[in-house]
Amino acid sequence: MDKVLVKAILQSVAITILISTAIGASIGLIAQSAPIGFGVFILCTVIQFIVGGFLNTKHSQANQQMQQALLAQAAEIKIPFDLSCAYCNTVNRVPISLLVDNVFKCISCNQLNRVYTQFTTTRITQPLVNKVEPGEVNMEENTVRQTTINEPIQITK
């Protein structure tokens, strides 16, 4: 478990017990009875857990509503793109949302077009650590070889 989460839970339990002990001891001293003080301690602990659970539920509901509002707001954000019509190849300025299906009507031929969004990944390139000075390369040495994009170049000395 995360150290921060464990610390927060232990801190919450410690505060709950501290408050219950203070109230239970106070009532026990006033009533001059240890069983009454212990009963008040248990009652205070239970009440704090019930109230804490209720407040946590309300807080979680408020967070969910806020997340839904943010998602609704994000769905309304549209990024303008210049897209060609699939029928007549006319360029149209189209607002695109990344959260919903996008369809637009061409300004020239009035045909409906669906926007297909695709994301791809690329390799992250690393600069050469030891830069080789320009000069002649002996192609007959065993250290020089042809490579493809899927095979990284290895420089041996």
Give tens-digit pLDDT for 101-138.
899 999 999 999 999 888 788 887 767 666 555 555 55
Give tens-digit pLDDT for 3-49.
888 998 899 999 999 999 999 999 999 999 899 999 999 999 999 99
Of 5 and 157, the one with more pLDDT: 5
pLDDT at 59: 93
User: Which residue pairs from 86-90 have beta carbons closer than 8 angstroms and sit at least 24 positions apart in sequence?
Assistant: 86/111, 86/113, 87/111, 87/113
Of 83 and 139, the one with more pLDDT: 83
CA count, 13 A, side-chain hemisphere, 135: 4
β partners of residue 94: 81
pLDDT at 143: 57
Backbone φ and ψ of 22, nearest 5°: -60, -45
Q: Is 48 exposed, middle or buried (0-12, 13-18, 19+ CB in 10 A)?
A: middle
Whether residue 144 has pLDDT greater than 90:
no
Rounded CA separation 140/156 (Å): 14
Give tens-digit pLDDT for 45-101.
999 999 988 999 999 999 999 999 988 887 778 889 999 999 999 999 999 988 788
DSSP assignment letter at 105 = E
